Amino acid sequence: MRSLGLFALALTLVVVVLGAYTRLTDAGLGCPDWPGCYGFHGVPKSEQARQLAAERFPDSPLEPVKARNEMVHRYAAGLLGVTILLMALGSLRPAHRTWRLAAWLLLALVLGQATLGMLTVTLNLLPFVVMGHLLGGFTILALLFLLACRGRPSAGPPVRGLWGWYLAGLAVLVVQIALGGWTAANYAAMACLELPVCQGDWLGQWQWSAFHPHGVPAESYQYGVLSQPERITIHAAHRLWAMVTVLALLALAWRLWASGLRGWSLALLLGTGLQLALGVMNVVWHLPLAVAVAHNAGAAALLLILTGTGERLWRDREVTKWQEAHCCPETGS
**pLDDT tens digits for 185-196?**
999 999 998 888
- Please report the pLDDT score of residue 174 as a whole number: 98
In angstroms, the CA 257 to CA 10 distance is 28
| Residue 154: pLDDT over 70 | no
| Residue 215: pLDDT over 90 | no
In angstroms, the CA 310 to CA 266 distance is 15
Nearest to 113 by CA among 218, 1, 5, 15: 15
Diameter of the chain measured on Cα atoms:
86
The answer to whether residues 154 and 313 touch, using CB atoms and an 8 Å cutoff, is no
| Residue 329: pLDDT over 60 | no
| Residue 113: pLDDT over 60 | yes
In angstroms, the CA 8 to CA 83 distance is 6
Q: What is the pLDDT of residues 66-79, one digit of tens each?
A: 999 999 999 999 99
55 burial via Cβ count (<10 Å: 0-12, 13-18, 19+): exposed
From 70, 219, 230, 324, active-site residue = 70
In angstroms, the CA 296 to CA 20 distance is 7
Whole-angstrom CA distances from 21 to 205, 297, 326 are 31, 10, 52
| Residue 105: pLDDT over 70 | yes
Residues 6+ apart with CB under 8 A from 51: none
| Residue 320: pLDDT over 80 | no
**Domain spans, the chain:** 1-153, 162-333
- Please state, for a pLDDT cut of 70, what percent of the chain lies above it: 94
Average per-residue pLDDT for the chain: 92
Q: What is the pLDDT of residues 254-307, one digit of tens each?
A: 999 999 899 999 999 999 999 999 999 999 999 999 999 999 999 999 999 999
Strand partners, 103: none
Dihedral over alpha carbons 246, 247, 253, 257 (to 10 degrees): 150
Q: What is the pLDDT of residues 138-152, one digit of tens each?
A: 999 999 999 999 867
Instruction: Name which residue leads in pLDDT, 326 or 192.
Output: 192
Give the model's confidence band at 212: pLDDT under 50 very low, under 70 low, under 90 confident, else very high: confident
Query: Under DSSP, is residue 217 helix (H, G, I), strand (E, B) or coil?
Result: coil
Q: What average pLDDT score do residues 32-45 get?
A: 94
70 is catalytic: yes
- Please report the pLDDT score of residue 13 as a whole number: 97
